Amino acid sequence: MSIYKLVYGIPDVDSEAVVNKRIAVELECSDEGLYKIENIFEDIEFFSEDGFLVLKRRVSEGLVYGFGDKVGALNKRGKRYTFWNTDNYTHHPGTDPLYKSFPFYIFIDSNGIKHGVFTDYPGYLEIDLDSEGNGEFTFKIKGRGFVQYVITGKSIKEIVSSYVKLTGKNTAFPIWAFGYQQSRWSYFSQKEVLEIAKKFRSRQIPCDVIWLDIDYMDSYKVFTWNPKTFSSPEKMVGKLHKMGFKISAIIDPGVKVEKGYEVFESGKNKYFLKDNSGKDFEGAVWPGRVRFPDFRERKVRKWWGRYVNEFSKIGIDGFWNDMNEISVFATEKELEEIRNLFKNSTLEEGVNLAIKAGTVGEIGRRGRGEDIVHLDGEPHYKVRNVYGFNMNRAAFEGIKSNKRKFLITRSAYSGIQRYGGVWTGDNHSWWEHIFLEMIRLSSLSLSGVFYSGCDVGGFGGDVNAELLIRFMQFGSFIPMFRNHSAIGTRNQEPWAFGKKYEDILKKVIQNRYTLIPYIYTEYMRGILKNVPLLVPLFYHFEKDKLTYNIEDEFMLGSSLLIAPVYRPGQYYRVVYLPKRALELNNNKFFSKGWHCIDAPLEIIPYFQIDGTIVPRWKAMNYLFEKEPEFVNATVVAYSGKAAGYFYEDDGITKEYKKGKYNLYKIFYKDGDIYVKALKEAIPHKSRRWIFKVFTKNNVETLEKII
């Protein structure tokens, strides 16, 4: 394994994505900006043209994976991609760019030789992965130079892990982040929030987190509460906590221009991005006229971080950082150009502009950020893609607590995993989006982000009962299981379609809770060893060439394979298994290869790979509700052998970093269970374990105190 650092032109901006600079070996280029590496690629041209630097590289046949949550096929080859963080509400399989930039891919040639390439440039960047079919990749930036890291390694695992070492370890989320989460734009009052919470508890549908969207704020002013509808937030939070819920609130970067509003007053002419004339740059977002903090500056992050910290003190458990591409519905200049379309709209009418944003947004999207200047003088087009990254970082650095942080962001750049997780933005209640999200979440993992999610049920548009069930079944196997929907769409809480569907959804959510010991074990082992939780099949079965084209299945941890249903009216699924596995709805073995699996509406096909042990416990209404009486583990040992793990720690503090956790390896062989403590650094509470063992011709139950 090696990491090479290649320098092209004169890189003059640092994205700060790379934290471990020492592990990369800087290479001398053979010619002006041209490199050839271990015969895996050869640069052929490097030139500048109309303010862009262009690098052309010859590559062999092969597959390409990664690029974060870009839409389209899992194999990224054959398309040109733009990295320019963009808010795009109605994205579809062809939309590019979107919210995030992860210019990292893994290349696998036809002989199975692999390498990773991270093009570290936080400004406007295009990467063409052989869209012309002539064996050339092109890298194009608007700027003076960029750095590229090339990672060679024997396996995909090794390359992902090296990339994570380069860009920073994932910060661990608390265990409750793996419970079910309910959101909506918006629950409009504290009364409504509490009603939703009560419904979960009275119906005994498990739920851990309730989310507050923008309407908790006073006129969308960040770090405020609406005095009428959220008049006693502290009380509300207290009640929710008593009921076992955690609360996550949205934060938007745009600070409302309003005389006397403290955040605005303390930031103006000091902490906000500038326009070309040196004045604070202004645009319209939800609050109307807003200005945007320049989060690249340490002092600005400190200033913002203090507000986040203060705001969290009433007991807010987490935050989601939104609109931070940055999304600007319109600027004064743009309004001028299209004034006739928008009659007499003004920036003050931010929300109204948003409603018409389909058109206004387009104009903002096409721009190259020439009209925004950062406090250190950098034009926005050179650093745009790290805006959201630094906003999330400001919250991460600002919250003073020894607990793990719960932060997600819509816009991001490589390295974001150090400060939190991500969600994929505004998807839709479309069947196509279940499929799309499988690919996006798998690719995010390959790009180093281990805690990710999408709006389960779909954000835009009206969901129907069948789609909601299929979306929720899929969502119950992704890291962040959050149901979220847009204003004006029909409700999609688990009870939204009546008793019959509620019962199915309750079971879907309960099944997720039974898997928490397994999911948490796999997640935390992954955090420690730089292994993502949700991955495409080839990550764990890379010798099996067939897996490279499977886009509609994924692995959750190394033992469970998930095959969601993502078309209406389908009550079976064609599934490829890279190894013999046990189908867990009917406890039936299937051999390696293709199978047609029954999938009536209440069932999502999922499998436990032969030779593994998956710990589970009884579903509870929320994590920490009670101590589970026992662990029931499924042992899949067709040929008589299996192994699995059980990880435990306090689930909420950062003590795991100091090694304060227990990790057990559990074996099944010769008809019995054996346990090896790989690490035992905190007091362990013995539990009764009930093992259900599936061998070739037999099913038996074994018990043990572990």
* Cα distances (Å, whole numbers) of residue 148 to 18, 312, 628: 11, 38, 49
The stretches of 533-624 forming alpha helices (DSSP H) are 537-540
What is the Cα–Cα distance from 269 to 641, expressed in whole angstroms? 67
Rounded distance between C-alpha atoms, residue 68 and residue 197, angstroms: 33
Q: Which of 69, 294, 317, 322 binds ligand GLC (CB under 6 A)?
A: 322
Min separation Cβ 372 and ligand GLC, Å: 21
Known catalytic residue at 426? yes
Closest among 576, 554, 556 to 564, alpha carbons compared: 554
185 binds ligand GLC (CB under 6 A): yes
Token digits of residue 397: 């650095």
Tokens 């190259």, located at residue: 368
Q: Could you tell me where the DSSP H helices lie in 251-297?
A: 262-267
> Site residues for ligand GLC, window 342-381 (CB under 6 A)?
none
Whether 455 is catalytic is no
Binders in 622-651 for ligand GLC, by CB under 6 A: none
> Closest CB to ligand GLC among 72 and 425?
425
**Residue with smaller CB distance to ligand GLC, 282 or 426:** 426
Alpha-carbon Rg for the chain, nearest whole angstrom, is 25
- Which of 212, 250, 373, 519 lies at the binding interface for ligand GLC (CB under 6 A)? 250
Exactly one of 16, 120, 213, 426 is catalytic; which is it?
Answer: 426
Q: Which of 550, 546, 545 is nearest to 535 (CA)?
A: 550
> Which one, 425 or 651, has the nearer CB to ligand GLC?
425
Among 24, 193, 214, 584, indicate the residue that binds ligand GLC (CB under 6 A). 214
Question: Which residues from 52-91 bind ligand GLC, rule CB under 6 A?
Answer: none
536 within 8 A of 442, measured Cβ to Cβ: yes
Give the residue among 114, 123, 127 at the shortest CA–CA distance from 155: 114
Q: Of 160 and 395, which CB lies nearer to ligand GLC in the complex structure?
A: 395
Q: Which is nearer to ligand GLC, 185 or 638 (CB)?
A: 185
Q: What is the DSSP letter of 382?
A: G
Q: Which amino acid makes up residue 452? A: S
Residue 410 is a binding residue for ligand GLC (CB under 6 A): yes
* 282 φ/ψ angles, rounded to the nearest 5 degrees: -125, 145
96 catalytic residue (yes or no): no
CA distance 182 to 240: 13
| Three-state secondary structure call for residue 472 | helix
Contact between 494 and ligand GLC per CB under 6 A: no
CB nearer ligand GLC, residue 426 or residue 437: 426
Are the C-beta atoms of residues 271 and 295 closer than 8 Å to each other?
A: no
CA–CA distance, 106 with 683 (Å, rounded to integer):
41
DSSP3 helix / strand / coil % (the chain, rounded to 5): 25, 30, 45
| In the complex, minimum distance from the CB of residue 411 to ligand GLC, in angstroms, rounded to a whole number | 10
Site for ligand GLC in 271-310 (CB under 6 A): none
* Total number of residues that touch ligand GLC (CB under 6 A): 8
- Cβ pair 555, 478 in contact under 8 A: no
Closest residue to ligand GLC using C-beta atoms:
185
If binding is defined by CB under 6 A, does position 213 make contact with ligand GLC?
yes
**Minimum CB distance to ligand GLC smaller for 252 or for 583:** 252
**Who's near 233: CB < 8 A, 6+ residues apart?**
190, 216, 225, 314
Q: For ligand GLC, which residue of 206, 288, 425, 453 counts as binding (CB under 6 A)?
A: 425
So which residues are the catalytic ones?
A: 322, 325, 426
Residues of the shown chain interacting with ligand GLC in the complex, contacts defined by CB under 6 A: 185, 213-214, 250, 322, 410, 425-426
